[in-house]
Structure 1
């Protein structure tokens, strides 16, 4: 059976199983994310060999590109300016102070324990900074969990993918061979061009649909945002503007100036993003094997553990000083910084970049993400249930 055919079959079977057990997974420590990751590992070249993928397989680059584009597009759609104005204090602390501190602390651990150079260490810090509430679904979807905590985790994870991206691109450029590094002006033009396309194209499209000359029917309304996304993707590929910043900027622009387009896109957009996430997790798992994990030195395992249990908790502990969060809410926010889907794709981008430390960084990223998915997605139900118990102290304020 051809590789692509085998991949499609394995994904379809795994998806069907995930759908059939999804209700049970919401009530137990079972996790669809862990399922796809483990299936990828078992079916990959290192175990059964059903899906013999390598880092340079075309499907890896294509899936990583498309998945990250549409997930960032959907993430941006969740955080229009009105949403940020309504609830910015706690997420603002986590993003503006917690994110840079997490990158710095993770980088310090990588430089100390693994011996990476500072550009390489900062790169792995930026790759591992984004979080994903999908791996803590039982927590953010539980109405007994305080609303502001769920909002904090959702808004933070929706924005930190896009905020970490420029750092990933900059540190990736700094980590390459000096002769192969792009000129700073070229990199800046790509980043600024992506943002400009992501703002201008959706704004113009939304205004055209709202004019007297054009009007989308109810049947085609959900396709408006998809058409805008495809147009942005095509323009960026043709102009070499950064398509990921364009996707994130476009989502925010549509959410801000096109509430109807945002509302109609939301159901189908979430499903598209979820399918791409699961497919990327399976492919990511297929690149990992017992032999792959055995190549990681002891210091790398220590780094992965500390990146999960130390870097984010320490960063958010500083960020939330003086906030009104209860102790239980603080520790829950500290723990649920799962290394999410964006980190998976950023790791794949590093692997395909050809920088000298690409293989080392990917090994560390893969290990950290694997441990994070298992740890966070298997404890969300347990911790969510703790909020059904009374806590001795409750804050008097509703925000940070």
Structure 2
């Protein structure tokens, strides 16, 4: 299976790179290509990639991908970034995230009839956002810097903020082998490891007789990530929160490290993201999506996208002076991104009650979100373009 998966990934990667320039100007999306590629090649259609939820490759890939993404996400939101402009991201995170989670859980319980614990678990999985699927908004200079900063900081932090909620709810529903007390110790130890290791390495690098050459400086940050990963595996610390804490610590204590690592880290994270999205697509079965998800499931998926976050951010932004156009863009661009993909894989492997229903509902929301948001980002970004000067 591994050679077939590698070949499929290489072909899709080549296609994705070749269409990337056009995709940046149109409604095409590399993420959609990998998602649909995995779906078509998976067990439900062509069965070229006979991927099963219990395959070790699924768990390993999910772990590595989420670790790298949380590490690079953390490096986008050092304390200096938060101090520079924290009011709007703070509202989106402290009010918008819990409200989105609550509204989604209410929809899941009353529309789908799921138990409260499973409803809140699915809501926590779907709460994080990912600006990669709205790159035309976050990456365009014509879009106001305030809006780009809001979406960047929010999406960089909400992955890590939602993760403890997902882990606790999985433990409560019996999806992990850890009791709540043990889980709390793992989370606390992970945060300690994530802060301590970068500070020690940064301190060593600043000694007069220890200095990395400019060409190898990105590898210094890679070594921090690998050390954190290895120590967490040995000690049992939560490696995901350790990765997130390590990224924030590096960005805060050594901004130069972040700058040197940025391009390399983004490429590695993007590769792992796309591989996980390919596997995620291969695990989605058409039979369940189109035959076993009821009309209420489709209504829930639509409302989770067009109602939950927009309503939550509308409430969160009350009293601010954010222009209506920027506010509407922020309310709409809450794409369910890579963190939700991996959290969905964790739910699928947990074996809790309603596992298949939860996974396929999560998958449906993510698929619809990727299609909706990655096909409208360019259109919305164009609304912020200055009008062309009149012809002489």
Range class of TM-score, shorter chain: over 0.9
Structure 2 match to 1:140: 138
What is the CA distance between 1:389 and its match in structure 2? 6.0
What is the CA distance between 1:175 and its match in structure 2? 1.7
Aligned mate of 1:127, from 125, 146, 165: 125
Structure 1 match to 2:308: 311
* Contact 1:127–1:164 (CA under 8 A) maintained in structure 2: yes
Structure 2 match to 1:393: none
* Contact 2:23–2:30 (CA under 8 A) maintained in structure 1: yes
Larger mean CA deviation between 64-73 and 353-362 belongs to: 353-362
Post-superposition Cα deviations, 1:167-196, rounded to whole Å, max 9, x if no partner, equal 11111111227xx76322211100100000
Structure 2 match to 1:251: 247
Matched, 1:298 2:302: no
Structure 1 match to 2:331: 334
* Contact 1:174–1:181 (CA under 8 A) maintained in structure 2: no
* Contact 2:171–2:179 (CA under 8 A) maintained in structure 1: no
C-alpha distance in 2 between matches for 1:106 and 1:328: 25
What is the CA distance between 1:239 and its match in structure 2? 1.1
TM-score (norm. length: structure 2) = 0.96
What is the CA distance between 1:143 and its match in structure 2? 1.2
C-alpha distance in 2 between matches for 1:25 and 1:91: 28
* Unpaired segments ≥5 residues, structure 2: 388-392
Aligned mate of 1:198, from 194, 197, 202: 194
C-alpha distance in 1 between matches for 2:196 and 2:73: 18
Aligned mate of 1:74, from 66, 72, 88: 72
Mapping 1:30-179, distance limit 5 Å: 30-176=28-174
C-alpha change, 1:151 and 1:49, in structure 2 (3 Å) is same
C-alpha distance in 1 between matches for 2:270 and 2:7: 18
* Contact 1:149–1:333 (CA under 8 A) maintained in structure 2: yes
SS of the equivalent of 2:271 reads helix
Post-superposition Cα deviations, 1:335-380, rounded to whole Å, max 9, x if no partner, equal 1000010000000011111111222211110000000000000011
Post-superposition Cα deviations, 1:290-343, rounded to whole Å, max 9, x if no partner, equal 213122122111111110011000100000001111111111111100001000
SS of the equivalent of 1:149 reads helix
C-alpha distance in 2 between matches for 1:263 and 1:149: 22
Matched, 1:207 2:210: no
Structure 1 match to 2:23: 25
Post-superposition Cα deviations, 1:112-141, rounded to whole Å, max 9, x if no partner, equal 111111111111111001101111111111
SS of the equivalent of 1:148 reads helix
C-alpha distance in 1 between matches for 2:232 and 2:192: 11
Structure 1 match to 2:350: 353
Aligned mate of 1:12, from 10, 13, 16: 10
Post-superposition Cα deviations, 1:269-296, rounded to whole Å, max 9, x if no partner, equal 0000111111111111011132131221
Q: What count of residue pairs does the alignment treat as equivalent?
A: 386
Q: CA RMSD in A?
A: 1.2
TM-score (norm. length: structure 1) = 0.95
C-alpha distance in 2 between matches for 1:87 and 1:161: 19
SS of the equivalent of 2:114 reads coil
C-alpha distance in 1 between matches for 2:180 and 2:240: 18
Mapping 1:356-375, distance limit 5 Å: 356-375=353-372
C-alpha distance in 2 between matches for 1:329 and 1:78: 21
* Contact 1:70–1:273 (CA under 8 A) maintained in structure 2: yes
Structure 1 match to 2:390: none
What is the CA distance between 1:28 and its match in structure 2? 0.5
C-alpha distance in 2 between matches for 1:175 and 1:304: 23
* Unpaired segments ≥5 residues, structure 1: 391-400
Structure 2 match to 1:265: 261
C-alpha distance in 1 between matches for 2:122 and 2:173: 11
Structure 1 residue runs of 4+, over 6 Å off?
none
